[in-house]
């Protein structure tokens, strides 16, 4: 169920599209569902249906199909909208909520097994909470047998004392589910069709209802507000950092001020300073140092790499023993080969710096391939854009590019050449030459050595 807006989020975006650990809530849920190897994953969509469908398809592709709930009249109505697709499927229907993202595969497996072994028509996953406020309560009779679920707002003072709550996760026999669903009335405080009423109806009609009490309450906590979303984010983050410290041998100077994606891999003896953000599928090698304010997204770093303060590295690759920053920006598949160095205020876009090459200060290197052991002087710019198209710059091995050189692409600078300070290079520079001036001309041939 993922059709609701999530009023309590106070958002224009559907709740299930809000991100947790870098992925929309709904992506977490369908990913877990997929691991159960079901016949199909049917997602009930309504608010921002297209975006929600896209988020689902991106995660599980073909396995997903959709039912539209145009008006959100409650969780019962949400399941009702899938009637034509499921009613005659003669199958087990596992109902999950799009806003309960941390449910574990193992828990669902046990829950389903329990449903089968109890030969129940309906099973409800419940937990006990210290503070059950806001959840539907599991009401039992004196003998402890299940009677019904009562929502917070419809509950009596006595019922509100019950600490066992409905997680919103259920197993149903498809036939029983839709037979009972036809009888649900919106006779409650919100005037909605509650899926929770189905359990009571199945029971009244002589069906078997089984409650599976699970011990880990956090796993089934729903996200209803941004405060809860932030708490979950914090939980996931802490768990990821703890794992990196304990299992991988990563040092965090201040684990409470590091922001590390759960998908990140970091090698031993790497040191992470405070206020570092590592996003997406980033892989960092051993013995690296990542200083404060760095953000590294979907990138790969070798061993013994130093990232100095406030550098941004996105979709890029940095081989071993490189240094970057402070205040450097690598993006769009920038590649630094071993021992390359990029210093203060240098931007590298879609460019490769080969082994041992240095660009230490104030440069823009875009669409460039730069050879080995080359030095890029302060203030060098690849003028890669003529207003319409991007062009390539090629700088070969052992070149010395003088300070403030403009390389007007497309252009090539031959091996072992030099450009004088302030050169504007508009034509290819042959190997072993010194060029200078505006536009730059060959001044002399350099002796090889
Ligand atoms: C629901 C349960 C409550 C349980 C809680 C657990 C009901 C009536 N109550 O309450 O007993 O303790 O979950 O988290 O079911 N949705 C739709 N269409 C709708 C309404 C909701 O698709 O018309 C979807 C929402 O997008 C959401 C899910 O169903 O993903 C749950 O809806 P929500 O409004 O959050 O239910 P709760 O009030 O939390
Ligand atoms: Ca909820």
Indicate if ligand 1 lies below 6 Å from the C-beta of 69: yes
Cis peptide before 233 (omega within 30 of 0): no
DSSP string, 329-394: EEESS-EE-TT-EEEEEEEEES-EE-TT-EEEEEEEEESEEE-TT-EE-TT-EEE-B-SS-B--EE
Residue nearest to atom 8 of ligand 1 (CA): 194
Give the model confidence (pLDDT) of 126-179 as tens digits: 999 999 999 999 999 999 999 999 999 999 999 999 999 999 999 999 999 999
Single pTM value for the model? 0.85
How far is ligand 2, taken at its centre, from the CA of residue 87, in Å?
25
User: Which residue out of 5, 75, 78, 200 has the highest number of ligand 1 atoms within 8 Å of its CB and is therefore the one to mutate?
Assistant: 75
Residue 135 Cα: closest atom of ligand 1: 12
Indicate if ligand 1 lies below 6 Å from the C-beta of 223: no
Q: Which ligand is nearest to the CA of 43?
A: 1
- In angstroms, the CA 156 to CA 165 distance is 15
Q: Three-state SS string across 1-57, please?
A: CECCCCHHHCCCCCHHHCEECCEEHHHHHHHHHHHCCCCCEEEEEECEHHHHHHHHH
Ion ligand 2 contact residues with beta carbon within 5 A: 99, 222, 224
How far is ligand 1, taken at its centre, from the CA of residue 1, in Å?
8
How far is ligand 1, taken at its centre, from the CA of residue 397, in Å?
63
- In angstroms, the CA 330 to CA 347 distance is 6
**Residue 319: predicted pLDDT:** 98
Cis peptide before 245 (omega within 30 of 0): no
Indicate if ligand 1 lies below 6 Å from the C-beta of 166: yes
Residue nearest to atom 36 of ligand 1 (CA): 75
Give the model confidence (pLDDT) of 257-307 as tens digits: 999 999 999 999 999 999 999 999 999 999 999 999 999 999 999 999 999
Residue 77 Cα: closest atom of ligand 1: 23
Give the model confidence (pLDDT) of 80-96 as tens digits: 999 999 999 999 999 99
User: Which residue out of 66, 70, 97 has the highest number of ligand 1 atoms within 8 Å of its CB and is therefore the one to mutate?
Assistant: 97
Q: What is the mean pLDDT of residues 101-112?
A: 97
Residue nearest to atom 1 of ligand 1 (CA): 168
User: Which residue out of 80, 150, 191, 222 has the highest number of ligand 1 atoms within 8 Å of its CB and is therefore the one to mutate?
Assistant: 222
Q: What is the mean pLDDT of residues 391-416?
A: 98
DSSP string, 298-332: S-EE-SS-EE-TT-EEES-EE-TT-EE-SS-EEES
Average pLDDT, the chain: 97
How far is ligand 1, taken at its centre, from the CA of residue 25, in Å?
14
Residue 449 clears pLDDT 80, i.e. is over it = no
Indicate if ligand 1 lies below 6 Å from the C-beta of 172: no
Percent of the chain with pLDDT over 70: 100
What pLDDT band is residue 42 in, cutting at 50, 70 and 90?
very high
Q: Three-state SS string across 121-143, please?
A: CEEEEEEECCCCCCCCEEEECCC
What pLDDT band is residue 415 in, cutting at 50, 70 and 90?
very high
Residue 15 Cα: closest atom of ligand 1: 26
**Residue 1: predicted pLDDT:** 97
How far is ligand 2, taken at its centre, from the CA of residue 97, in Å?
7
Residues marked active site are found at 361
- In angstroms, the CA 348 to CA 384 distance is 12
Residue 98 Cα: closest atom of ligand 1: 30
What pLDDT band is residue 447 in, cutting at 50, 70 and 90?
confident
Indicate if ligand 1 lies below 6 Å from the C-beta of 399: no
Q: What is the mean pLDDT of residues 92-108?
A: 96
């Amino acid at each position: 169920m993922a059709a609701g807006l999530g009023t309590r989020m106070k958002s224009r975006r559907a709740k299930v599209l809000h991100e947790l650990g870098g992925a929309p809530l709904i992506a977490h849920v369908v990913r877990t569902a997929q691991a159960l190897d079901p016949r199909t994953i049917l997602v009930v969509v309504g608010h921002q249906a297209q975006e929600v469908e896209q988020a689902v398809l991106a995660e599980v592709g073909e396995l997903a199909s959709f039912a539209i709930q145009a008006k959100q009249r409650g969780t019962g109505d949400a399941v009702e909208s899938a009637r034509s697709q499921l009613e005659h499927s003669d199958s087990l229907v596992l109902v999950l909520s799009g806003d309960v993202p941390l449910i574990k595969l193992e828990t669902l497996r046990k829950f389903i097994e329990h449903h089968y072994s109890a030969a129940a028509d309906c099973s409800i996953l419940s937990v006990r909470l210290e503070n059950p406020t806001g959840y539907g309560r599991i009401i039992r009779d004196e003998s402890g047998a299940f009677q019904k679920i009562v929502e917070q707002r419809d509950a009596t003072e006595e019922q509100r004392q019950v600490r066992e709550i409905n997680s919103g996760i259920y197993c149903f026999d498809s036939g029983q589910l839709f037979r009972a669903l036809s009888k649900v009335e919106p006779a409650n405080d919100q005037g909605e069709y509650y899926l929770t009423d189905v359990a009571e109806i199945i029971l009244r009609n002589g069906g078997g209802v089984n409650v599976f009490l699970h011990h880990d309450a956090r796993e089934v906590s729903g996200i209803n507000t941004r405060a809860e979303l932030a708490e979950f984010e914090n939980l996931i983050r802490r768990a990821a950092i703890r794992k990196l410290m304990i299992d991988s041998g990563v040092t965090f100077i201040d684990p409470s001020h590091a922001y590390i994606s759960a998908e990140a891999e970091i090698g031993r003896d790497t040191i992470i300073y405070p206020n570092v953000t590592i996003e997406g599928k980033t892989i960092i090698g051993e013995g690296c140092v990542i200083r404060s304010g760095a953000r590294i997204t979907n990138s790969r770093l070798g061993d013994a790499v130093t990232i100095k303060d406030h550098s941004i590295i996105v979709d890029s690759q940095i081989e071993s023993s490189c240094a970057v920053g402070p205040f450097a920006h690598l993006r769009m598949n920038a590649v630094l080969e071993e021992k390359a160095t990029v210093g203060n205020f240098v931007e590298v876009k879609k460019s490769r710096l080969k082994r041992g090459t240095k660009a230490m200060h104030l440069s823009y290197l875009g669409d460039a391939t730069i050879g080995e052991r080359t030095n890029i002087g302060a203030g060098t710019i690849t003028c890669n854009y003529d207003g319409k198209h991007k062009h390539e710059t090629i700088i070969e091995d052992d070149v010395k590019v003088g300070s403030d050189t403009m390389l007007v692409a497309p252009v090539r600078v031959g091996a072992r050449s030099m450009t004088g300070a302030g050169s504007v290079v508009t034509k290819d520079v042959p190997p072993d030459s010194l060029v200078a001036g505006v536009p730059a001309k060959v001044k002399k041939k350099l002796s090889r050595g």
